[in-house]
Structure 1
Amino acid sequence: MRIEVTIDKTKPLPNGALEALSGELLKRIDREFTDNSHSVHVRYASTNNLSVMGGAKTDKDRIEEILQETWESADDWFSAD
């Protein structure tokens, strides 16, 4: 399963945020999907979007939830220092 998150480039994040988001999202997805047959890519693009290729509809729904939880808890795992 390939997971791609795109962030609107007109609303840049602090330095290191893309890498931190990618790492945190991968950790959380690894806990949920233990088969380790997935990759996570986070990058800037023209719009915010989530693409899940190679997974079931229920997988995409769960990944959307994990992404939302990860984004909302950024104060707990991201430090811009």
Structure 2
Amino acid sequence: MRIEVMIDRSKKLPNGAIPALEQELKRRLDSRYDETCSLTIRRVGSDGLFVFGANDDTKKDIEELLQETWESADDWFF
């Protein structure tokens, strides 16, 4: 399964936010899914999420996981 997270480059983010998000999201994905996940996070023109090689239910679960991870940044980003 391949996951690509795109974050709008015009959004202000603290230094180190992208690597920290990638590490935390990868940790959560690995604990939830047995299959190998390839995760890419990059800054682009607009926000987006693409999940390749997964069914619709899994895509929805990953979307929710990303939202939970982002909203809990106070717990893992320091």
TM category (shorter chain) comes to: over 0.9
Amino acid at match of 2:3: I
Alignment of 1:33-48 (within 5 A): 33-35=33-35, 37-48=36-47
CA offset digits 1:43-72 (Å, max 9, x no partner): 100001000011111110000010000000
Alignment of 1:39-58 (within 5 A): 39-58=38-57
CA RMSD of aligned residues (A): 0.8
**Total equivalences in the alignment:** 78
* TM-score, with length taken from structure 2: 0.95
Pairwise CA distance, 1:12: 3.0
Distance in structure 1 (CA, Å) of the matches to 2:63 and 2:7: 14
Gaps of 5+ in 2: none
Moved over 2 A (4+): none
Residue number in structure 2 paired with 1:14: 14
The reply on whether 1:27 has 2:39 as its aligned counterpart is: no
Distance in structure 2 (CA, Å) of the matches to 1:3 and 1:30: 12
- Aligned identity (percent) is 51
